[in-house]
Amino acid sequence: MKARIIPIVRTVRATLPPGRDLVAPPEGALVDLRGRRVRDLRISVTDRCNFRCVYCMPKEVFGDDYAFLPRSKLLSFEEIVRVARVFVDQGVEKIRITGGEPLLRKHIENLIEQLAKLPVELTLTTNGSLLRKKARALKDAGLHRVTVSLDGIDDAAFKRMNDVDYAVGDVLDGIEAAAEVGLAPIKINCVVKRGSNDDQILPLARHFRHSRHILRFIEYMDVGSSNGWCMDEVLPSADVVARIGQEFPLEAIDANYPGEVAERWRYTDGGGEVGVISSVTQAFCSSCTRIRLSTEGQLYTCLFAQSGHDLRALLRHGNGDEALRREIAAVWRGRDDRYSEIRTAATSLPGGKIEMSYIGG
């Protein structure tokens, strides 16, 4: 097996963009067909959300009659922890809880408390609406930090993006609550959709300069089949950096670790840092170490996958951890995904791709 993997690792390295190196996997580590380790596990704990962000859960598709998963199909906390433990044994070092809106899952702090016993970095991505209510319980349960999505700083612009009339002030208050209890450093993620919220780039940058929070801009992606994505609505990260740089000079800084997806920039006047994630214009598949567990226990090796691997059936039919371990290893070893590197107008057409709110962002 090894003889086959090593040349592939070399090929992958040769195609890595500058500054993005693949860490050599330790002896015996689980690696996929492109020499990538499994390192990050994203767990979706609900497919429901109280927002209807236009690029993620458009109202026309996710309306009042939308059939969300029934409770019986959701993985229980015990099942999630079992899968997570096996993943950690296989090399996972980071776990991110996501959704849908993860803070809508009842007693989410109980899951956090269990996962916090594992030797991993434990984070959660949220729209921030329930953070004021939940921050203390999450911190006490052992959560390390949060990432908050925020697509505008002007109230009207933010409401246009969340499409449920949710006020920006309440999310800012949630961010404050998270900071007060020490769920830091807090990352603030803004998805930029050209023509919808790109007028928010500078106001957001002005707002979060000199804060302790790290603002990052993400290119709008063709995830799922319902958002009507088209390339014209993607604003390249290079333009985001140029726009900010015109008002506040920026200089590039090194990645925190090899394979970090965000490109980091620093305000030269000491105003802190800002990041960009160029999922569309500068694919980072060659260093992608992420795997996703959906709300109902399907395992997806790529955000753009069209099908998953059913772990819930394994869990619910009396199989032991060894069977789980074998299945997970087989799935990762057979992984060859690199969607963002081979994206074309044809691959991004609607049809069959899993929704972000289901698979977990």
Which DSSP letter does residue 99 get? Answer: S
Using rule CB under 6 A, residue 45 touches ligand SAM? no
* Token digits of residue 173: 């208050």
| Residue 112 engages ligand SAM in binding (rule: CB under 6 A) | no
| Chain CA centroid to CA 75, Å | 19
Cα–Cα distance for residue pair 115/178, rounded to 1 Å:
19
In sequence order, what are the beta bridge partners of 214?
Answer: 187
Under DSSP, the state recorded for 138 is: H
**Measured CA angle at 340 (ends 66, 103), to 5 deg:** 40
CA 194, chain centre distance (Å)? 21
Give the contact letters, 85-104, x = binds to ligand SAM (CB under 6 A), - = no.
-------------xx-x---
Taking the least distance from each CB to ligand SAM, the nearer of 127 and 278 is 127
Query: 43: buried, middle or exposed (CB in 10 Å: 19+, 13-18, 0-12)?
Result: buried
> Residue from 80, 244, 356, 358 that binds ligand SAM (CB under 6 A)?
356
Shortest Å, Cβ 291 to ligand SAM: 16
Q: Which stretch binds ligand SAM (CB under 6 A): 119-127, 203-211, 282-290, 337-345?
A: 119-127
Pick the closer one to ligand SF4 by CB: 267 or 304.
304
- For ligand SF4, the closer of residues 5 and 116 by Cβ is 5
How near is the Cβ of 151 to ligand SAM at its closest, in Å?
7
Residue 54 backbone phi and psi in degrees, to 5: -65, -25
SS3 40: strand
Q: How far is the CB of 218 from ligand SF4 (least distance, A)?
A: 11
Element containing residue 263 per DSSP (H, E): strand 263-267
Which residue in 130, 143, 221, 291 binds ligand SAM (CB under 6 A)? Answer: 221
Instruction: For residue 5, give Cα distances in angstroms to 30, 325, 353.
Output: 11, 21, 29
Token pair recorded at residue 285: 């598949």
With contacts defined by CB under 6 A, name the span among 88-96, 123-131, 238-246, 321-329 that binds ligand SAM: 123-131
Binding site for ligand SF4 (CB under 6 A): 49, 51-53, 56-57, 99-101, 127, 149, 284-285, 288, 290, 302-304, 337-340, 357
Closest listed residue to residue 143, CA positions, set 112, 117, 119, 120: 112
Tell which one of 47, 55, 131, 226 touches ligand SAM (CB under 6 A).
Answer: 55
Residues 293-312 that bind ligand SAM (CB under 6 A): none
Query: Which residues contact ligand SAM (rule: CB under 6 A)?
Result: 49, 55-56, 98-99, 101, 125-127, 149, 189, 191, 218, 220-221, 223, 227, 356-357, 361
